[in-house]
Chain A
C-alpha cells in the first residue's frame, strides 16, 4: 500500500494538515513517536491571545482564533477576553509600542484605565501602571489536543500509528519514500515533516539541515481555587500568562526556560526559572500565594533564527514538505495546517506560507 502522503508528527501541525489533505482527496497516514498530541501541542499553556502574537503573524492568529471558537467545548475553548499588564514605566512604554502595532495589524486591542481594570479583575494587584485589553483573547485546554485530533482522524478515516518513531527515510527510484519505523515500513508518494522540536534530526534523515532550535518552556498549575480572575492575564514582556480554568485550577506560563533537549526526553523544570515565574504571577495576583502548586512541567517549542514559521516545500527534496516552528503555534496551528494542506494539494493558499528554503537572519526585536 502506498499512501499519497505520510505525515510525520501527530501534533497540531501534522493533524490539522492531515485533515485538510484528506478532505482534498488524498490518502494519508500520520506517524508519531509517542502518543498523538503529547508533544508541544499537548503540554502548552493553551493561551489564545492576540496580544502575545507577532505582528506579522496576526492575520494567521485571527483566523486561528475563529477555528478554535468553532471547535468549542471539545477542546475546552473559552473566550474570556484578556488583559496585559505593565508594572513600571519601562513596561508601560513597551506595552504601548507593541500593542499599538498589533492593533494596527488587525487585533481588536485597546488600552484600558485602572478603574476599568479593577472593576473587571478586582483580585489583581494595585501596582498596575498600564494595561491593554483584547476581547478576542481566551484559552483552550491543550491536554485535550490528543483526544480531540484522535477523534477527528478516526472520523475522517485517517490511519494513524502511535509509539511509532520514524528512524530512516529513503527515496526509492520510482520517486516513492520508504519510511522505516519499528512497526514496519511505510510507503508514500509525499512526505510532510511536522515533528515540532524534533524537526532537525528528522530532516537530517533526508540530508537536509534545518536550523531548528528548541526552547524549553515551563508551565505550572495549582490546585482548584475559588474564583480569582475571569480573564486571561498577561505581562507586557510576555513573560507571564495565566488563567483560571472552569474547574478552578490556575495555569501559569510565560515561556520561562527549563533544561534538557528534545532528544533526551521530556525536559526538566529549572527551579531558578520557575520561582521567578511564580513570583511574577503572585505579584500580579497576590491571592495566588496561598494556592498549592500541583505540577510544573516543560515542553519543547521549536524555532528557527528569525522566529518565523517553516511552512512549505522542504529544500532539495521534491515532494517533501515541512511545517513547524510557528511562534504561538497552538493558536495558529489549526489554520496554518489548512494552508499547508491546500499547498500540498496544489491549491493556491489563502495567505502566503513561509519558505523553509529562505536564508535565515537572526531576529532582532
Chain B
C-alpha cells in the first residue's frame, strides 16, 4: 500500500472506530487498522459465525451499529492487520502491519492511536493454575463463542465486571460457586449517584443482581481470593476477608470450583504512544500510567492523537464519544470544517466519562494488595518468576523496573512485561518506601506484539540484502 492516507487509526474499538468514522465523514481519507477479524474492539466484539443466531446483547448490538457504519462509510478498514511498529518517515507516519503473514507499510499524514486497555490481574498464590482466566478474557469467550470457563466457577475481582461475568456464566448454563469482590456495598453506594445518571446501565446491573440473588449465588463483599487450590486444574479457592486497605484479615471459607475468573481492573495500553515520544503520568483514577493527551486527543507531537481507554479507563460509551471528538479534531487540524459542534460532543464525553471514572474508581489498587502474594507466588508468568526473586533483586539495589527486568527477566517474556509490571513496580515502591507514581514502567520496545521472524524478513534474494560495508579491520 504505497498511497498516503490522510489519517491512520490504530484500533477499531468504540474509540478508534468512531474516530475513523468522524474523520471520514469530514472528508478525509482514512485507514482503520486492527488485528481482529471484525471491528468492535474488546467490548463490542463480534460473534463468530458459528453462533450468529445467539440472542444479541447490548454490546453486540452496539458493535453491529459500528460495523455497519464502517462498512457503509469511505473508511478503508484493514482487519486482521497487526500493527507491530510505527515510525516517522519524512512528513508521514508509517504503520508497519502484519497481514496475511506479510509485513507491509501503511502511510498517513496523521495518526490516531486507540489501542484500548488490557486487564490487570493481581497475582495470588496459584493464579497460574489451568482453569484460571481473566475476567475480561471470560467476556471474550462469551461474546465470541458462547463458551463458559468451566462447570462450576468462582468469579472474583473488582468493579462491575464480576457481576456481568457471573450472570453471563449463568445465562450460558454454567454454575457460579460464588462472587468474591474486594469492593464493599459502601464502595458501590458511593458510585450510585453517578450511576443514577445512566438509568439504562443501572437497570442492567439490577437485572444481574436480581438473577444472582434468586439463584442464591453467595456474594462475598470486601473479600478476595487469597489462594487457588489444585495443581493440574483448579479444584477450589480460599477466600479471605479484607480490611479497608485490602489487607487480608482472616481466611473465611474454601469454595469448591473447577475454574476461576479473576481480574482487578483495566490498564491503558500506552506502549505505542510512549514509543512515539508521548510523555506519561501516573493517575490511579484512570487506571495507572496514562499518556499525556488533551481531552480532544491532541498531544505535544504534531499530527498524533490518542483516544479511548488507551488514554485512561473511562469505558465504552466515553470511548465512543471521545473517538468522535478526536476524529473531528484531527480532521479540522488537516483543514476540514467539522460537521458537528465540538463543544456539544465534549459535554457528552464529560458525562460518559464521569460514569466510567466511577467504575474505574472501584478498581484503584490499595496498599494491602501487596499482601495477597506470598514469597512463592509467581509474579511474571511468562518467565515463571516468583515474588522472592524480584524482592531479592530489589534488595540488592535494582531500583527501577528496567533494572529488575535486566536482572531477573521479569518482563522479558512474550508479553513484554505488559502483565507483570504493575506488580513489579509495586514491589519496588514498597521496598523504597515511595509511591508507585515514582516507579516508571520499563522502556517499551517493538514489536508491539510478537511477530514471526520469517514474516519480518519477508521474501528476499540474498544478493539484494543491503549489506553495508564491513567494519574496519
Residue of B406, B468, B471 near A143 (CB, 8 A) is B406
| Complexed CA–CA distance, A101 and B472 (Å) | 13
Query: Are B470 and A365 closer than 8 Å at their CB atoms?
Result: yes
User: How close is B102's CB to chain A, nearest CB, in angstroms?
Assistant: 12
B1 interface residue, CB < 8 Å from A?
no
- Residues in A whose Cβ lies below 8 Å from that of B399: 35, 162-163
B29-37, B197-205, B457-465: which lies at the interface: B457-465
A291 interface residue, CB < 8 Å from B?
yes
Known A-B contacts: A150-B397, A237-B471, A295-B447. Give 15 more (CB < 8 A).
Answer: A35-B398, A37-B406, A52-B471, A144-B407, A162-B399, A275-B103, A276-B466, A282-B453, A289-B453, A290-B454, A292-B451, A294-B412, A294-B414, A297-B443, A327-B471
- What 1/0 mask marks residues of chain B from 17 to 35 whose CB sits below 8 Å from any chain A CB? 0000000000000000000
Query: Are B445 and A292 closer than 8 Å at their CB atoms?
Result: no
Query: Are A278 and B453 closer than 8 Å at their CB atoms?
Result: yes
Nearest 5 interchain pairs by C-beta = A289-B454, A279-B457, A292-B450, A147-B407, A237-B470
Nearest B residue to A223 by beta-carbon distance? B414
Nearest B residue to A154 by beta-carbon distance? B397
Query: Are A94 and B452 closer than 8 Å at their CB atoms?
Result: no
Query: Are A365 and B469 closer than 8 Å at their CB atoms?
Result: yes
B396 interface residue, CB < 8 Å from A?
yes
User: How close is B441's CB to chain A, nearest CB, in angstroms?
Assistant: 13
Chain B residues with a Cβ closer than 8 Å to the other chain, count: 46
- What 1/0 mask marks residues of chain B from 409 to 447 whose CB sits below 8 Å from any chain A CB? 100111010000000000000000000000000010111
A201 interface residue, CB < 8 Å from B?
no
Name the residue among B393, B398, B400, B472 with the largest chain A CB count within 10 angstroms.
B472
- What 1/0 mask marks residues of chain B from 361 to 393 whose CB sits below 8 Å from any chain A CB? 000000000000000000000000000000001
| Complexed CA–CA distance, A150 and B473 (Å) | 34
B456 interface residue, CB < 8 Å from A?
yes
A60 interface residue, CB < 8 Å from B?
no
User: How close is A88's CB to chain B, nearest CB, in angstroms?
Assistant: 8
Query: Are B416 and A271 closer than 8 Å at their CB atoms?
Result: no
Query: Are A307 and B406 closer than 8 Å at their CB atoms?
Result: no
- Residues in A whose Cβ lies below 8 Å from that of B405: 143
| Complexed CA–CA distance, A237 and B458 (Å) | 22
- Residues in B whose Cβ lies below 8 Å from that of A27: none
- What 1/0 mask marks residues of chain A from 15 to 39 whose CB sits below 8 Å from any chain B CB? 0000000000000000000010110
B219 interface residue, CB < 8 Å from A?
no
- Residues in A whose Cβ lies below 8 Å from that of B412: 143, 221, 294-295
| Complexed CA–CA distance, A163 and B163 (Å) | 45
| Complexed CA–CA distance, A159 and B57 (Å) | 62
Query: Are B445 and A54 closer than 8 Å at their CB atoms?
Result: no
- Residues in B whose Cβ lies below 8 Å from that of A296: 445-447
Query: Are A275 and B403 closer than 8 Å at their CB atoms?
Result: no
B residues whose Cβ falls under 8 Å from a Cβ of A? 85, 87, 94, 96, 103, 105, 275, 393, 396-400, 402-403, 405-407, 409, 412-414, 416, 443, 445-447, 450-454, 456-458, 460, 462, 465-473
Judged by DSSP, the binding face of B is loop
Residue of A37, A268, A293, A327 near B447 (CB, 8 A) is A293
| Complexed CA–CA distance, A276 and B103 (Å) | 13
| Complexed CA–CA distance, A100 and B414 (Å) | 41
- What 1/0 mask marks residues of chain A from 266 to 289 whose CB sits below 8 Å from any chain B CB? 101111001110111111000011
| Complexed CA–CA distance, A301 and B458 (Å) | 28
User: How close is B410's CB to chain A, nearest CB, in angstroms?
Assistant: 11
| Complexed CA–CA distance, A294 and B397 (Å) | 27
Query: Are B452 and A291 closer than 8 Å at their CB atoms?
Result: yes
Nearest B residue to A125 by beta-carbon distance? B462
A315 interface residue, CB < 8 Å from B?
no
- Residues in B whose Cβ lies below 8 Å from that of A278: 453, 456-457
A261 interface residue, CB < 8 Å from B?
no
Query: Are A238 and B470 closer than 8 Å at their CB atoms?
Result: yes
Query: Are B450 and A271 closer than 8 Å at their CB atoms?
Result: no
User: How close is A97's CB to chain B, nearest CB, in angstroms?
Assistant: 9
- Residues in A whose Cβ lies below 8 Å from that of B453: 222, 278, 281-282, 288-293
Query: Are A269 and B445 closer than 8 Å at their CB atoms?
Result: yes
Query: Are A54 and B473 closer than 8 Å at their CB atoms?
Result: yes
Nearest A residue to B406 by beta-carbon distance? A143
From 117 to 163 in chain A, residues with beta carbon under 8 angstroms from any chain B beta carbon are 127, 143-147, 150-151, 154, 162-163
Query: Given known contacts A101-B473, A238-B471, A293-B451, is B96 in contact with A271 (CB within 8 Å)?
Result: yes
Query: Are B460 and A276 closer than 8 Å at their CB atoms?
Result: yes
| Complexed CA–CA distance, A278 and B457 (Å) | 6
- Residues in B whose Cβ lies below 8 Å from that of A150: 396-398
| Complexed CA–CA distance, A77 and B462 (Å) | 33
Query: Are B460 and A38 closer than 8 Å at their CB atoms?
Result: no
Query: Are B471 and A297 closer than 8 Å at their CB atoms?
Result: no
User: How close is B107's CB to chain A, nearest CB, in angstroms?
Assistant: 12
| Complexed CA–CA distance, A28 and B94 (Å) | 48
- Residues in B whose Cβ lies below 8 Å from that of A274: 456
Nearest A residue to B408 by beta-carbon distance? A147
Q: List 12 A-B contacts (CB under 8 A).
A: A35-B403, A54-B473, A98-B473, A163-B399, A223-B414, A266-B443, A275-B103, A282-B453, A289-B454, A294-B413, A294-B414, A295-B446
| Complexed CA–CA distance, A236 and B405 (Å) | 33
- Residues in B whose Cβ lies below 8 Å from that of A239: 467-468, 470
